[in-house]
Structure 1
C-alpha cells in the first residue's frame, strides 16, 4: 500500500509538505514543489485516506446536515446532493431533522456536535433570528443553505428571480388575476418568492390584491386550504403561483374538489421541480431550483468558515420549466388532436 511517506520520498519533500499540498481545505498551490507532489501521487497511485486525515486534525471528516424534515421531498433531494458533493471530497454527510422548531434544532445541533462533526450545513434559518447552536456556539463551523438569516454565510437559489419568472410567465399568457399561495413568514425563501411575485405584477402595472394572497406553510395540506380560500373568492384568480410544489399539489386537489380543470379553468405554477411534478396527470409548470450548485456552494462556504474567512452569500439562478398546467385564460393547454385533414395540409 502506497503511503504518504512514499509520496514524500518520491517528491523529495517532507511528509508535512505532502499533507499541505493535498489538504483540500487550503487554496490550491501551483508552485513547482506542489506540482512535483501531485506528479508523485499520480505515478505511485497514492489514495488519500480521508478518515485518517480527519483524525489527525482531531475531526471525523463528517458534515452534519440539519433539515426541517425528510418527508419534504425538497429537503430529501437537497440532502442527497449534499451527501454526493461531500463524498466527492472524501467527506461523509449525516442528517438530523427538526420539524422546523428552533428548540428541536438546538438539540439536533448539539447531538451532531457530540458526534464530532467537522461542520454544519443548516437549511432551517429564520429571518433575523440567530442560529440555535446551543452550547456549541460559534466554535463549530456552520453555513446556511436554501434559506438565510441575513447575517450568516449562505448558499441559496435566487428566489426573487424564480418567483418573478413564474409570475411573468402567467402575465405573458394573459392572466391578470394571479393568486399567490404563500409560505411561512419566517423563511427567507417564502419571503423572497412573495417579493418576486409583487415585483413582476408591479412591472406589468397590475395592482397587488391582498385578497389573492393565502397560505402560511410549505405543506400540501396548507396548499389545499389556501387553494380553497382563493378559489372560493367572489372573483377568483384565473391563475395561481404557489411558492413550492407541495402547495401547488394541494391547490390541484382543491381545484379538483371544486370541479375545476387545470389549465382550462385555472393555470398553476409551482416551485422547486421535485421529481413527481413532471409525472402528474397534468404535469406542473414550475421553477427548477439548482440544488447541486447550491450544495457545492454550501461545502465551499463551510471550507471558508473552517479557515476563519468572513461570511459571504452564494446565489444560484433558477429556471422556469413550462409544462401543461399553464395556458392562456379560458384555453386548454392540451394539444389539439391531429386530423386527417390537418395531416394532408
Structure 2
C-alpha cells in the first residue's frame, strides 16, 4: 500500500508570491499584533488561509525577545472567584495576542515563590499574582528583579494592581442592611492578612460609624474565605438565644455567606425572616440558591483587562486601579424592618 506523503509546509515566501506582494508586506499583514484592515492586507490573509499557512508566533516572539505568554498565580482553582478570574484573564490576554498559563500555590509563601519561579523558568513575559497575603514578599522581590508583574483582586499599595474597591463594597453591603432598619449587624470578613478582608471590614465600619452604631467586637469575625469558615462563624453568631443574635450579617464573600446559611438552617434561623444576609462577589450560584443571595458585584472582566494592560503597557498611571462594585439586592436581605431592632 502506497504511503501518503506529508503535506508540504507553506512558508511566508509562498504566501507573498501567491499574493503578489513582498515578504515584508506579507509579514506585516499576518502580524497578529498590528492587524491591518486594508484591502491588500485582507487579500494576503485570505490567500494565507487558502494555502493553509500557519504563522509561527512563538518563533516570531522569540526573535523579538518575548514569548507572548503571561503567568497567572492563584492560590487554588477550586475557589469559584479564582477560577472566574483566571477565565477573564485568559480572555483579556488572548484579545491582546497573549497566552495565559496558570499555576496554583496554596497559601504558603514558600510554595508561592516556587510556583512563581516555575512560571519564570518558562520565560513568561510577566506574572499576574492573585495570591492574597499582605505580608507577601514576592511582589517586592519581583520589583527588585524588574520582573513585569501585576497584582489582581488585591494590592500591597506599591506594585501595579487591579482590583475592586473593596472598602466601597464593604460600605455598600453594610449600608444596605442599615437602610433596611438593622442595627444588630455582624461582619464576617476574610483573613486579616488579606487586603480584601481588611478593606471590606473598613468599609463596613465606616457605614456603621456613620449610622451611629457601635459594633460589638465579638460580632466582627475574621475567617477564611471557604464555606466551612462561614459555617463556623455562623455557628458562633447564631448559637445563642434570639435576643443575643445579630439580626443581619455581612459576609465578605459568597462562600462565607453560604456557610452562614447552612448554620442558620441548623439553628432554625430563617433567612430573611429572622436574619438578613449579604455576600460579596456575586458569583453565579448566588442568584440560584433556594434563597437568592444579596451580594456585591465585582466587575472581574474589567479588572482582568486592567491587569493585563498594566503588564503589556508598563509605566501607565495610575499603577493601582480600583473598579467600582455594585450592590445586587435579592431575597436574602429581606425587606425594611418595622422597628429599629
TM normalised by structure 1 equals 0.82
Helix, strand or coil for the counterpart of 2:327? strand
1:312 to 305, 316, 319: 319
Q: 1:287 aligned to 293, 296, 315, which one?
A: 296
Give CA deviations for 1:170-200 in whole Å, capped at 9, x if unaligned.
Answer: 1111111110001111111111100110111
1:171 aligns with 2:175: no
- CA shift, 1:238, in A, is 0.3
Cα deviation per residue 1:84-117 (whole Å; 9 max; x = unaligned)? 1112222211111111211100000011111121
- Correspondence 1:76-155 to 2 at 5 A: 76-127=83-134, 129-131=136-138, 138-155=145-162
**2:138 match: secondary structure:** coil
Per-residue Cα deviation, 1:229-249 (whole angstroms, up to 9, x for no partner):
112356211000000001111
Question: Residues 161, 16 of structure 1: CA spacing in aligned structure 2 closer, same or farther, 3 A cutoff?
Answer: farther
Q: Which stretch shifts more, 218-227 or 41-50?
A: 41-50
Q: CA deviation at 1:16?
A: 12
Provide the rounded CA distance (Å) in 2 between the counterparts of 1:286 and 1:183.
15
Task: Report whether the alignment pairs 1:257 with 2:272.
Answer: no
Q: Classify the secondary structure of the residue corresponding to 1:270.
A: strand
* Separation of aligned partners in 1, 2:143 and 2:296: 36
The whole-number CA distance in structure 1 between the counterparts of 2:293 and 2:55 is: 45
Structure 2 partner of 1:31: none
Quote the offset at 1:53 in angstroms. Answer: 2.9
User: CA 1:128/1:170 → structure 2, altered by over 3 Å: closer, same or farther?
Assistant: same
Q: Are residue 271 (structure 1) and residue 295 (structure 2) matched?
A: no
* 2: CA distance, partners of 1:260 / 1:275: 25
Displacement of 1:253 after TM fit? 0.8
Return structure 1 stretches of 4+ with deviation > 3 angstroms.
1-7, 9-19, 21-24, 37-40, 46-50, 132-137, 308-311, 328-331
Residue 263 of structure 1 deviates from its aligned partner by 0.4
The separation in 1 between residues aligned to 2:38 and 2:209, in whole angstroms, is: 56
Stretch deviating more after TM superposition (77-86 or 56-65): 56-65
Q: Aligned partners of 1:193, 1:208: CA distance in 2, in Å?
A: 15
- Which ranges of structure 1 fall in alignment gaps of 5 or more residues? 29-33, 332-345
Indicate conservation of the 8 Å contact 2:26/2:41, yes or no: no
- Superposition deviation, residue 134 in structure 1: 6.7
- Equivalent-residue separation in structure 2 for 1:330 and 1:127 (angstroms): 38
Report whether the alignment pairs 1:55 with 2:62: yes
Say whether residues 1:190 and 2:194 are aligned partners.
no
Find the residue that maps to 1:271 and give its secondary structure.
strand
Output one character per residue of 1:208-259: Cα deviation in whole Å (capped at 9) or x when no partner: 2212111321111111111111123562110000000011111011101101
Given that 1:102 and 1:132 are in contact with CA atoms closer than 8 Å, whether structure 2 keeps it comes out as no
